[in-house]
Amino acid sequence: FFIFPKELSIAVIGLQNSGKTTFTNLLGGKSFEADTIPTLGIQINRFSLGNSLLNVYDLAGQTRFQPLWERCFDKVDLIIYMIDLSDLSCLADAFSKLRQVIRLSNTDRIPLVIIGNKIDLIKDPIDPMAHGEATEKPQANFSLSKYIPDSMLTNYNFDDIETLKLDNSNLYRLKRIDILSKQIGIDVKNHILHVPSSTSDKEHISLNADIAIFTSSCKNGDYIDEITSWITQL
């Protein structure tokens, strides 16, 4: 008998040069390319992945196109937010725009996958002892999701995770998902988004849609399979 494929619409958003088109191409079975052209507006891709038919809206990251991002939200089943973890100059902007996206996706209850990309470009310290700490291995992912067992969250305690004052010597620590989640402000275990506030009262948003956080290297293919299987489980 014939099984009708699931259809899944996905918006891929994030700042320019973060790797959205590259990731979309990998999802569609193409290989990594070092030279890409910045996306203008929206590029719509349609392909199958496992038993799913995907409509992928690959959006442009340039500031002038960012208002398009949320205009797609009512058309999609999943949002993917890409971050270039190797580019210190963009990280504060990437994190604050991500928090705005989380507010919207949470209200609309759209699942969100956050991808810290380009981990191949972040160098660990050459001599770990010189920095007083051992080289850290990246972790695969964290997820507040019905699809990933809670056991992934043992040892995760948001309040105990350190907040970094990021510079080029400690950027590599963002390869650890708990440290990345702290930097964004997502308490994965308690399903809370902490929004930094200029006033003294801290703002908390309780999260009720699925959120997963991954790191990746589109160049080396690191964790791409893990992300793909999370997506196809939706």
Ligand X SMILES: Nc1nc2c(ncn2[C@@H]2O[C@H](COP(=O)(O)OP(=O)(O)OP(=O)(O)O)[C@@H](O)[C@H]2O)c(=O)[nH]1
Decide: is 22 part of the binding site for Mg ion (CB under 5 A): no
Provide the 8-state DSSP code for 134.
P
Residue least distant from ligand X (Cβ): 61
Decide: is 25 part of the binding site for Mg ion (CB under 5 A): no
Site for Mg ion (CB under 5 A): how many residues? Answer: 3
Report the C-alpha gap between 40 and 64 in whole angstroms.
10
- C-alpha distances (whole Å) from 2 to each of 5, 26, 51, 165 are 9, 28, 12, 55
Among 21, 106, 141, 215, which residue interacts with Mg ion (rule: CB under 5 A)? 21
DSSP string for 219-232: TTTBTHHHHHHHHH
Please give the residue ranges that form the binding site for ligand X (CB under 6 A): 16-22, 33-34, 36, 38-39, 60-62, 82, 117-118, 120-121, 217-219
Map the footprint of Mg ion across residues 101-130, applying CB under 5 A: none
Decide whether 31 or 151 has the Cβ nearer to Mg ion: 31
**Residue burial 182-198, b: 16+ Cβ < 10 Å; e: rest:** bbbbbbbbeeebbeeee
Among 10, 14, 25, 39, which residue interacts with Mg ion (rule: CB under 5 A)? 39
Consecutive H or E run containing 67 = helix 67-71
Q: Contact 73/66 with Cβ under 8 angstroms?
A: no
Decide whether 38 or 128 has the Cβ nearer to Mg ion: 38
Report the C-alpha gap between 89 and 109 in whole angstroms.
31
Range in contact with Mg ion (rule: CB under 5 A) among 12-20, 62-70, 164-172, 193-201: 12-20
Q: Report, in Å, the least distance between residue 88 CB and ligand X.
A: 15
Out of ligand X, Mg ion, none, which partner does residue 117 contact, by CB within 5 to 8 A per kind? ligand X
Binding stretches for Mg ion (CB under 5 A): 20-21, 39
